[in-house]
Structure 1
């Protein structure tokens, strides 16, 4: 891969690139890396503003929806616990995430057997770690359980 200077391809307003060009993928990857580094290093850029910028939507148009914010929050939480370039969570990192982020939802947090079983069940690729897809599956299963309780309580309130 040819090294490309940031000023050659990272523009403040847009990336000018012919998508059919042979080097387009490399240039875009470099531009995105630089753009994300800029967003991460700028304390003046809020999380909502980052989401707007990454979606190429001016922050003055509309605020992100609740769903967009929820998706961004899930990604932020996952990557907050990831260490290094691997983009997966070890058993210890996942345990830390569960204990910290889901402390009011997960019963028996100290039950090692149930935690290990959950990790094995969610480890679709069998690598002993949790990637983002496996993490989202875990969150989805929690949400299904929470939704069942929510629907039951809502039904009970409607009867009163």
Structure 2
């Protein structure tokens, strides 16, 4: 005969097991929808330090306004380019992604290659519009050639847009 305490323990373990299995079986909705891309203007509201960045920081912006939808961007100081998108996900929590900018080689004063990309984690609000822009702030960033914006989720590229700086 099973004692009440043992029966309660067995029932608890079965409930925990079934909840754990249900969590593994649950499919989470995740999708990125492109809204626009090209040249933008926006207000920089903060600068966060970021290792490996050619400028040493990551700009946090507000009020991004599309100036021109294009993948051809003039390579000049002050230009902002990138993409506006919406992440569709379950609930209204933040979604962890990684943003990567791949750009032509940069060189230090001795001519050595220093960077070809910048990748950083970002928590963005689900089900809201977000914008990932790159602003050419320093002379060494004004590089003609192919620039690519990649967004990763769970280690996989879920969005990519190529820009040609001329």
Tell me the TM-score normalized by structure 1.
Answer: 0.20
Higher relative contact order (CA 8 A, sep 6+): 2
> Of the two, which has the highest radius of gyration?
2
Q: TM-score, normalised by structure 2?
A: 0.19
Q: More helix by proportion, 1 or 2?
A: 1
